[in-house]
């Protein structure tokens, strides 16, 4: 059992702090995604875990071993970790079988045992018929599976993935998200996956760690992160959302330019600057005035709309000047300049303290 624990992990490059006192425990067998924008520190954490760079402060423990600290840092080859990079890094002059078995050859495993293990893992990734092909003869998705098999065959305690799907086209990325999850469920290694793509994180992860400016903003399951973002940053980064800022009247009501909106979840601090978050698909456009007494309704003007096939993306303006995006059914076609009613269902409005 090899849980991974980061204690006060910090990395500075000169005067710039890239990773800032990170505390994080990853239980054995979980797939955890480090998710955030470029420059948030997620890839630096992966490099620290792999042993490619040394921490400026704090330590990394795997099971009962300290693998990185100011006192001592184990070299990468002693960490029982495998890493998959953005580029597949396959040997072009080696066959698929030779690439996958390379790590076992370095460990001087016998030829027959190596062959048996290579055939077994190629069967698991559904490439056993390609054992004698070369990387140049494979698609991008197939090459990525070969890189994954090469990492798994040496039976690491921890698997590190650095944006492994970024070089694939949209259709292959979607296919490989599910393939990565399937293989993780089959082998149950502790997996740490770095990505800036929320769809990858939502599809593959047991837990998502949302990062911003070198620190952790929130940790939770995909559903928790999406349904209950703990900050404006998380709400904006995970899924399409609108943020409306105003003054908190009480723990559930937000005032913006004469309009009072009720939040069905979250907790505002009375008298403080605060915000409301509502997803694009939860806001609703109506062409007729709603029944009297309907909460969270305001007149709005269509600024633009884009047809996306399965939906239409509208940008609307409230009288307050706030602009919101709304995802509407494809059969609702409204021209720019049209006056509509915007409904923000209270049960879908999340209050965010400042």
**Domain 241-353, what architecture?**
Beta Barrel (2.40)
Could you tell me which residues are beta bridge partners of residue 62?
4, 65
- Which structure tokens are listed for 103? 């790590």
Give yes or no for residue 260 having a pLDDT over 60.
yes
Between 310 and 168, whose confidence is greater? Answer: 310
CB count within 10 Å of CB 113 equals: 11
User: Where do the domains of the chain lie?
Assistant: 4-227, 241-353
* Helix 140-152, helix 170-187: angle, nearest 10: 20
Mind listing the pLDDT tens digit for each residue in 91-138? 889 998 888 888 888 888 888 888 888 888 888 888 888 999 998 898
Q: What is the percent of the chain where pLDDT is above 70?
A: 99
pLDDT digits (tens, 9 = 90+) for 17-52: 999 999 999 999 999 999 999 899 999 999 999 999
Q: Give domain 4-227's CATH architecture.
A: 3-Layer(aba) Sandwich (3.40)
Residue whose C-alpha is closest to residue 307's, from 326, 285, 330: 330
pLDDT at 61 over 90: yes
What are the residues facing 16 on neighbouring strands?
Answer: 13
SS3 77: helix
Residue 271, token pair as written in the block: 């008298």
d(CA 279, CA 300): 17
Contacts (Cβ under 8 Å, ≥6 apart) of 149: 100, 121, 122, 124, 125, 127
Residue 1: predicted pLDDT: 58
CA atoms within 13 A on the CB side of 100: 32
Helices (H), 96-197: 96-100, 102-106, 111-124, 140-152, 170-187
pTM of the model: 0.85
Confidence of residue 215 (pLDDT cuts 50, 70, 90): very high
Looking at per-residue confidence, does 36 or 166 come out higher? 36
């Amino acid at each position: 059992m090899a849980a991974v624990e980061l204690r006060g992990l910090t990395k500075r490059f000169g005067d710039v702090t890239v990773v800032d006192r990170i505390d994080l425990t990853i239980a054995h067998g979980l797939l955890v995604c480090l998710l955030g924008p470029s420059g948030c520190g997620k890839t630096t954490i992966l490099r620290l875990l792999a042993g490619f760079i040394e921490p400026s402060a704090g330590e990394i423990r795997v099971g009962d071993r300290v693998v990185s600290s100011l006192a001592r840092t184990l070299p990468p080859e002693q960490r029982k970790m495998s890493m998959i990079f953005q580029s597949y890094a396959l040997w072009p002059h080696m066959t698929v079988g030779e690439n996958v078995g390379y790590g076992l050859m370095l460990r001087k495993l016998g030829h027959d045992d190596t062959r048996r293990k290579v055939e077994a893992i190629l069967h698991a990734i559904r490439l056993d018929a390609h054992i004698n092909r070369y990387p140049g003869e494979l698609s991008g998705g197939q090459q990525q599976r070969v890189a994954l098999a090469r990492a798994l065959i040496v039976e690491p305690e921890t698997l590190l993935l650095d944006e492994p799907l970024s070089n694939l086209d949209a259709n292959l990325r979607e296919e490989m998200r599910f393939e990565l999850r399937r293989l993780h469920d089959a082998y149950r290694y502790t997996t740490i996956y770095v990505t800036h793509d929320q769809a990858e994180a939502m599809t593959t992860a047991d837990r998502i760690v949302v990062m911003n400016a070198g620190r952790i903003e929130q940790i939770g399951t995909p559903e928790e992160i999406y349904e209950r973002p703990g900050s404006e940053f998380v709400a904006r980064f995970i899924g399409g959302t609108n943020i409306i800022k105003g003054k908190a009247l009480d723990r559930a009501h937000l005032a913006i330019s004469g309009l009072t909106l009720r939040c069905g979840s979250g907790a505002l601090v009375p008298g403080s600057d605060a915000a409301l978050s509502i997803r694009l698909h939860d806001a609703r456009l109506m062409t007729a005035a709603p029944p009297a007494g309907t909460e969270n309704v305001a007149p709005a003007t269509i600024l633009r709309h884009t047809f996306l096939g399965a939906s239409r993306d509208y940008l609307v303006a409230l009288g307050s000047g706030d602009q919101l995006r709304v995802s509407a059914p494809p059969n609702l076609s409204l021209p720019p300049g049209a006056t509509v009613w915007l409904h923000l269902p209270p049960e879908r409005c999340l209050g965010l303290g400042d």
